[in-house]
Amino acid sequence: MEDIAKAAGGAKGTLCRHFSDKEDLYFGVVFGAICQLNAQLVQEAANATDPADQLRGMVRSVLMSPADDLGVDERVDMILKSFLEGVHKHST
């Protein structure tokens, strides 16, 4: 957990307060990514009334993700860092 916190620019204590172990942390990161994707898809669906345009927007949203040029490890680091920043904002 210490290595993960260091790589994400946070403290081990912050991770341990919110996650019981690495598996719980992994679930949190994946769940956060799914929630972000869901929000993007809902927004794309709301932006159009025609079902074909809704689908195009949703597919475009998935394919044009800002993290598309990153590898899996970099995506996980980016999501974790975003999560830790959000936790920090809500805890202060």
Residues 76 and 56: their CA atoms lie apart, in Å, by 26
Q: What letter represents residue 49's amino acid?
A: T
Asked if 62 contacts 38 with a C-beta cutoff of 8 angstroms, the reply is no
Across the range 3-28, mean pLDDT stands at 81
- pTM tops 0.85: no
Q: For the chain, which residues make up each domain, given as ranges?
A: 2-91
- With b for 16 or more beta-carbon neighbours within 10 A and e for fewer, the 47-62 pattern comes to eeeeeeebeebbeebe
The residue count for the chain: 92
Q: How far apart are the first and last CA of the chain?
A: 22
Per-residue pLDDT tens digits for 47-68: 888 888 888 888 877 776 655 5
